[in-house]
Amino acid sequence: MRILHTSDWHLGRSLHGHSRAPEHEAFVDELVQVAQDVDLVVLSGDVFENANPPIEAEEMFFDALARLGDGGTRAVVVIAGNHDSPDRLKAAAPLAARHGVWILGRPGDVPTPAHTVGDGRGTVRLLAAAPSLLDLAVPLRGGDHQRTVIAALPYPSEARLRQLLSDRLEEEDRQRAYNLRIEGAFQLLAQHFSAEAVNLATSHLAVRSCMPRSSERVLVGGAYQIEGSALPAQAQYVALGHLHLAQDVPDAPCLARYAGAPMAMRFSERDDPRVHTLVELQPGAAPVVHELPVSAGRPLVVWQAGSIEEVERGVAEGLHERAFIDLELAVDEHLTHQQMAQLKALPRDIVRIRAVLPEANVTPLVDPTRRRDLPLTDLFQAFYREQTGEEPDTSLVDLFLELAGPTVSDGDPSDARQAG
């Protein structure tokens, strides 16, 4: 039996205002091609970038499900991640289940029963269902069916386990309670595993021993992590989502793996390998994992240049033609509006321009001791100059003041802070 493990698509995400939709479309096309030789696809969360994705992102997701399910001849299991709306994600579950696709939004969701497509001999069948559990007959490419038991635990947030995580507990105690609850949930689900079946688990959570990336928004003290030992030893493979770097869990009692994100979400992730994870399994045997590189997606490049003329020469020579570019420009003073416009007019996707001043020229744009006494306009202008190296337009300042709140007075910083 061959399994394709994928996760963290983040459909609908942009990069500094630049759409990633064409890259996601190319990735889905590539994923469907890779799936031609597999029997089961597991998507372990963060389908979308946020809980209210654009229509185009939802259309891409539904199209991907239809193509991956292939008329019910290939099993597909999807769980919600922390970026997904559980209810919105599983709204199509009754229809999806008719095509061999099961979607679970919350821990404890019961997979939707499905009418068998066709005569059932070459299609997926749901043999049994229980909270967070699927017992499937998965058609193999060779023609037989393989019983497959999947313990599926969508993103188990602290709020969804609040009955155990009392506010009166100390932080360390809450972390310990969360770990024990996850471990207990997996142990209950693992009781349904069978020696005659392929036994899998999938979830969307953070394992302490693994390396998070900057775009995962893990807040210290705000997002609970588990120990690898909390994962079920009875599972042959645990398909995880949430961390964007593809990696194994070193302290898991079985083979547990993050598939990683299919594309770099930020420039800090630009050098991370992006892979399709393929797993070969049969009952009672150790899994065999293969990685295929993801070809879809544009490179993210940090371009360090010493002058605008150097950038213009590089563009003329075809440098970084396909890339999204974070431009670091070494200059003696902050860039003018004219210079910024000159750079933005170049035929390249330069998504961020940062002026790097000589250390001797770097002085605080606002005296830290005077920050609390300055009007909000001055603070915003100083912040904008620090981040972009240029002065904000008057219209941008006006928009900021409007968004900050109707009670903000440009001359009274205390009002501004209360409104913010």
Angle between helices 308-316 and 337-344 (to 10 degrees): 10
- Residue 420: which residues within 8 A CB-CB, separation 6 or more? 404, 405, 408
Residue with tokens 């009274």: 412
Count Cα neighbours of 404 within 13 Å in the Cβ-side half-sphere: 23
Please tell me the distance from the alpha carbon of residue 168 to that of residue 335, in angstroms, as a whole number: 52
pLDDT of residue 418: 39
The model's confidence at residue 160, banded by pLDDT at 50, 70 and 90, is low
pLDDT of residue 414: 43
Query: What is the DSSP annotation of 129-154?
Result: EETTEEEEEEEPTTS-EEEEEEEEE-
Please tell me the distance from the alpha carbon of residue 237 to that of residue 42, in angstroms, as a whole number: 11
Nearest C-alpha neighbor of 31 from the set 323, 299, 293: 293
pLDDT of residue 182: 94
Q: Is the pLDDT of residue 362 over 50?
A: no
Provide, rounded to the nearest whole percent, the portion of the chain with pLDDT above 90.
Answer: 67
Which DSSP category does 321 fall into?
S
For 61-78, what is each residue's pLDDT tens digit? 999 999 999 999 999 999
Residue with tokens 């590189």: 293
Residue type, 85: S
- As a whole number, mean pLDDT of residues 17-24 equals 95
Count of CB atoms situated within 10 Å of the CB of 207? 26
> For residues 16 and 352, is the Cβ–Cβ distance under 8 A?
yes
Q: Which of 91-122 are b and which e, b meaning 16 or more Cβ less than 10 Å from the residue's Cβ?
A: ebbeebbebbbbbbbbbebebbebeebeeeee
pLDDT of residue 57: 97
Please report, for residues 308, 341, 354, the alpha-carbon distance to residue 304 in angstroms, rounded to integers and kept in the order given: 11, 18, 10
Residue type, 273: P
For 31-90, what is each residue's pLDDT tens digit? 999 999 999 999 999 999 999 999 999 999 999 999 999 999 999 999 999 999 999 999
pLDDT of residue 419: 39
Of 214 and 96, the structure prediction assigns the larger pLDDT to 96
Q: Is the pLDDT of residue 366 over 90?
A: no
Average pLDDT, the chain: 86
- As a whole number, mean pLDDT of residues 347-366 equals 74
pLDDT of residue 404: 74
- As a whole number, mean pLDDT of residues 101-110 equals 95
Helix (H) or strand (E) holding 179: helix 171-190
Please tell me the distance from the alpha carbon of residue 354 to that of residue 269, in angstroms, as a whole number: 18
> For residues 123 and 135, is the Cβ–Cβ distance under 8 A?
no
Which DSSP category does 218 fall into?
P
Token readout for 276 is 């399709």
For 254-285, what is each residue's pLDDT tens digit? 999 999 999 999 998 999 999 999 999 999 99
For 195-233, what is each residue's pLDDT tens digit? 999 999 999 999 999 976 655 554 433 468 899 999 999
The model's confidence at residue 18, banded by pLDDT at 50, 70 and 90, is very high
The model's confidence at residue 372, banded by pLDDT at 50, 70 and 90, is low
